[in-house]
Structure 1
Amino acid sequence: MAFTRATGKHRRPGRMHRTTARAAGVAALATSGVVGTLAAPALAAEPAPEQTGLTPVVTLGDSVAEQIDAQAAAQRLAAEEAAAERAAEEAARRQAAEAAEKAVQKARENKERAAREAERKRLTAYVAPISASYVSTAYRASSGLWSSGSHTGIDFHAASGTPVHAVGAGTVVEAGWGGAYGNQVVIKMLDGTYTQYGHLSSIEVSVGQSVTPGQRIGLSGSTGNTTGAHLHFEARTSPEYGSDIDPVAYLRSHGVDV
């Protein structure tokens, strides 16, 4: 149902009617973009509210602009905060990746260091030349069986064919027949001393070969000047006969329980 109101020939529209019509006109102009292009002089030419009784439309336009500016500022702030959050997350991921890589590298270095240390200990370790044996003839024991009148080494009890091991790391300097020692092996040790293994039934190394602690170098026997199968072991300061040192003290100084 529509309402109509006669204004009369000389009757002016009411204040509410004028205000509503003007606001509607401003909304239409705002939609078309015209409001933003109004020149200041045109606005200045508008009669004062006291003269016309109209509500100023500039106030409505400023309020909308302020709301738009506030929304834009809020959106910019939200975008900046989101960008900062993404940057922080990316930095955290990079730091975590770098930390993980460093941890892996450190673990690798520790493993390599441990392997080198284990290898160093293995190469510097000493063992008994015959496993689970004992000294049957002591160092410097006196007897007419030896040309020097005394024993220049120690004898380890061993049946023929018992594995004989290098007591430590070194290089083979003699491997073959050694006169009264029968089949023998002489090794120059890493510390510059020499060890000799005599009366072997067989030899399993050759001159110039490097050996490691516990490596099998031959089998015990009774070759050479001997009354039975055993291992003759000497520690020397040179590869030559007569430079012998106490083999028990030598082995014990390297941690071997004899």
Structure 2
Amino acid sequence: MRSYRRHRLLVPVLLCALAVLAARPTAADRRHGSRGAGDSGVSAEVARLYEEAAVATQQYETGRKRAEAQRARAQRAEKLLDRQRRHIAGLHEDLGRIARAQYRGSGGLPVAAQMILAGSPEDLMRGQHAFSQADLAVNNAIAKSRRAETRLAADEAEAAAQWQALDRRNTQLARLKAGIERKLETARTRLQRQADASVAAGACRGAVRLDEPETGFTTAWVAPVETYELSASFGSGGSRWASRHTGQDFAVPIGTPVRAVGTGRVERVSCGGPFGIEIVLKHAGGYYTQYAHLASVAVDQGQHVRPGQWIGQSGTTGNSTGPHLHFETRVTPEMGSAVNPVSWLEERGVTL
């Protein structure tokens, strides 16, 4: 069965205030010497656009929900207005009935005529009082209804105007989001080409340092990627593997930041072979985790890492049929010692 897991919403910010994620050259980078400025630039560009696309998507979804809510308010106001109009029409019908009732109740004479023909001051006062009370009640009801109609019409117009403004803003956000995603796709293609060249040469380009956002993880263990769809699972069969699948695959786009699942040390960074570009981390307790089919790495061999730290970017290098992260947990750094990574993470409080 395929599983899904959604990431936490990013903190809403204005798109114009997005932080530019840039690559930082380090001493380790200079030691490698085989990676030019363009190599680090495309990795940083993918990481930056990845974050921008996530923020744009969140803003678009927020705007869409607000527009839908405003549209619903405008529709409710219109329904209230229709009910008020029907109520006023009913009052006008009541006026006719009151006039007819007054006419019948006074021997066929209108109330005004009865007052003129009153036989005594008492009859005159009673007729005048009855006429005034009926007239006042009807006039008050009509005035109240008209005020309500005016207020509701204004509310409906305001709600509709706000909805239209939100809809226009959301259209702009959709265009901006689409533009960012087009740039991201282009950058991802460039990143994958560089990764393929490294794998073909059998030589890694070295660590590409990326500025990652503050995460503030409070747990000792995390999932290896933030947003994903689970695909091939541990132990599943298929023509792509010699026997059984030895890890858990996470279907993610090229350039997705890959995270260290826990505190550890980089045991190995390598390129070439069926896993393409891969990283192996060593953790306390004698366990190792592998991150394979990467497009770039952001750590050096021997480096210590913390939970959630970006250690690379996903790709589709090596024996891969599409963009994904192949994640393994092992009892040795080598193949053939894998254990079920889903169960292993669940034991540490991470449910995929």
Per the normalisation by structure 1, the TM-score is: 0.51
Of residues 311, 315, 320, the one that matches 1:217 is: 311
Distance 1:247 1:181, change over 3 A: same
Aligned pair 1:128/2:226, yes or no?
no
Q: Is the 8 A contact 1:123 1:213 kept in 2?
A: no
Output the CA distance in 2 between the equivalents of 1:235 and 1:123: 22
User: How far 1:132 moved relative to its partner?
Assistant: 2.1
Corresponding residue pairs, total: 137
Q: Is the 8 A contact 1:123 1:212 kept in 2?
A: no
Which amino acid in 2 is paired with 1:212? R
Aligned pairs (5 A) from 1:75-114: none
Deviations 1:158-185 (A, max 9, x none): 0000000000000001012151000000
Distance 1:167 1:178, change over 3 A: farther
Q: Is the 8 A contact 1:123 1:169 kept in 2?
A: no
Give the secondary-structure state (helix, strand or coil) at the position aligned to 2:345.
helix
Output the CA distance in 1 between the equivalents of 2:263 and 2:338: 19
Q: Is the 8 A contact 2:266 2:304 kept in 1?
A: yes
Output the CA distance in 2 between the equivalents of 1:203 and 1:254: 25
* Percent of residue pairs bearing the same amino acid type: 47
Which amino acid in 2 is paired with 1:185? I
Per the normalisation by structure 2, the TM-score is: 0.38
User: How far 1:124 moved relative to its partner?
Assistant: 6.6
Q: Partner residue of 2:294? A: 200
Output the CA distance in 2 between the equivalents of 1:235 and 1:124: 19
Which amino acid in 1 is paired with 2:220? A
Deviations 1:93-134 (A, max 9, x none): xxxxxxxxxxxxxxxxxxxxxxxxxxxx96871000010213
Give the secondary-structure state (helix, strand or coil) at the position aligned to 1:134.
strand
Aligned-residue Cα RMSD (Å) equals 1.6
Q: Partner residue of 2:334? A: 240
Q: Is the 8 A contact 2:217 2:308 kept in 1?
A: no
Distance 1:178 1:233, change over 3 A: farther
Give the secondary-structure state (helix, strand or coil) at the position aligned to 2:343.
helix
Q: Partner residue of 1:43? A: none
Aligned pair 1:167/2:261, yes or no?
yes
Q: Partner residue of 1:188? A: 282
Which amino acid in 1 is paired with 2:260? A
Output the CA distance in 2 between the equivalents of 1:229 and 1:215: 21
Which amino acid in 2 is paired with 1:236? R
Q: Is the 8 A contact 2:281 2:290 kept in 1?
A: yes
Distance 1:257 1:230, change over 3 A: same
Q: Partner residue of 2:237? A: 142
Name which structure has the greater RCO, CA cutoff 8 Å, separation 6+: 2
Which amino acid in 2 is paired with 1:192? G
Q: Partner residue of 2:176? A: none
User: How far 1:138 moved relative to its partner?
Assistant: 0.9
Output the CA distance in 2 between the equivalents of 1:178 and 1:238: 20
Point out the structure with the larger helix share: 2
User: How far 1:203 moved relative to its partner?
Assistant: 0.7
User: How far 1:135 moved relative to its partner?
Assistant: 1.4
Output the CA distance in 1 between the equivalents of 2:287 and 2:264: 9
Output the CA distance in 2 between the equivalents of 1:236 and 1:242: 8
Look at both structures and tell me which one has the larger radius of gyration over its CA atoms: 1
Compare 153-162 and 128-137 and name the one that shifted more. 128-137
Give the secondary-structure state (helix, strand or coil) at the position aligned to 2:231.
strand
Which amino acid in 2 is paired with 1:188? K
Which amino acid in 1 is paired with 2:289? T
User: Unaligned regions of 5+ residues in structure 2, if any?
Assistant: 1-215
Q: Is the 8 A contact 1:123 1:168 kept in 2?
A: no
Give the secondary-structure state (helix, strand or coil) at the position aligned to 1:179.
coil
Deviations 1:54-108 (A, max 9, x none): xxxxxxxxxxxxxxxxxxxxxxxxxxxxxxxxxxxxxxxxxxxxxxxxxxxxxxx
Deviations 1:181-209 (A, max 9, x none): 00000000122200000000001111100
Q: Partner residue of 2:248? A: 154
Output the CA distance in 2 between the equivalents of 1:196 and 1:141: 18
